[in-house]
Amino acid sequence: MRSVKESLWRLNTDYIDLLWVHAWDGWTPTEEIMKGLEDLISRGVVHYIGISDTPAWIVSQANTLAQLRGWNQFVGLQIEYSLIQRTVEAELLPMAKAFGMTVTPWAPLGGGVLTGKYLKGDGGRLPESSARLGARATQIATKVVELAAHLGVTPGQLAINWTRQHKGQSIIPIVGATKVHQLEDVLGCLTFEIPTEVVKQLNEASQVELPFPQKFLNEPGVLDVLYGGVKNKMSDSR
């Protein structure tokens, strides 16, 4: 309550369009958080709520609780997501799709790694010990640079578009620019779509192993048992 009051004063406004819970503290009860957010919405000082950097089971619990109580649900999910950070595909992205939440990924360029600048030896804000500069990330960035050159676009544009282009799901990457040319480069991603074959190559270069139970549920033998051998003939209308 105090945070919102102070934000309204600093912003010189009467309301906040979208209020983000920045990260889950692991301590405050879910019901208490959701009730506080509902009070802010009922007072008209907040219109919509989003949540960032929180486990999928917590977000599901919060939104289900809100549904049952007739409260407002989280409509936005903010997570790290890029070609070098795809673990969110196991739980968080499917959950967001099920609840109709818009996803706003941060670090879609992996802290600049996917622009290829670190491959050229250019400096940046990432320390040498960062996992984003590891062997796997470097291999992925190399592939992005190669495919971008083939398409005649910049590596950053290709990486951003890969994050954006998920059919049936609303994804709006958060981009940070300190210079005009960086913003212009990012906006160039809106001028093209990635060909299917290139998407396939990017997916293969950056694939991650699914955890249990996702990996188990996608094994051929399990799919055969679950769907009676007709899984390939079925289409998901959701």
**CB-CB contact of 81 with 48 (8 Å):** no
pLDDT at 129 over 80: no
Q: Are residues 117 and 225 in the same domain?
A: no
Domain limits for position 92: 2-208
DSSP string, 195-228: -HHHHHHHHHHH-----TTHHHHTSHHHHHHHHT
Q: Are residues 133 and 226 in the same domain?
A: no
Diameter over CA atoms, the chain: 61
The CATH number for 142's domain is 3.20.20.100
Strands (E), the chain: 16-21, 46-52, 74-78, 102-103
DSSP β-bridge partners for residue 102? 76
Q: Are residues 165 and 213 in the same domain?
A: no
Q: Are residues 54 and 85 in the same domain?
A: yes
Task: Quickly state the pLDDT bin for 11 (edges 50, 70, 90).
Answer: very high
Q: Are residues 177 and 69 in the same domain?
A: yes
pTM, two decimals, is 0.89
Task: Quickly state the pLDDT bin for 130 (edges 50, 70, 90).
Answer: confident
DSSP string, 136-181: HHHHHHHHHHHHHHHHTS-HHHHHHHHHH--TTS-B------SSHH
Task: Quickly state the pLDDT bin for 99 (edges 50, 70, 90).
Answer: very high
Residue 230 to residue 238: CA distance in whole angstroms: 18
DSSP β-bridge partners for residue 171? 103
Pairing of strands 74-78, 46-52: parallel
pLDDT at 237 over 70: no
Q: Are residues 83 and 34 in the same domain?
A: yes
Taking only the tens place, the pLDDT of each residue in 163-207 is 998 777 899 999 888 889 889 999 999 999 999 999 999 999 999
**CB-CB contact of 75 with 141 (8 Å):** no
**CB-CB contact of 205 with 139 (8 Å):** yes
Q: Into how many domains does the chain fold?
A: 2
Q: Are residues 81 and 173 in the same domain?
A: yes
Task: Quickly state the pLDDT bin for 6 (edges 50, 70, 90).
Answer: very high
Q: Are residues 54 and 140 in the same domain?
A: yes
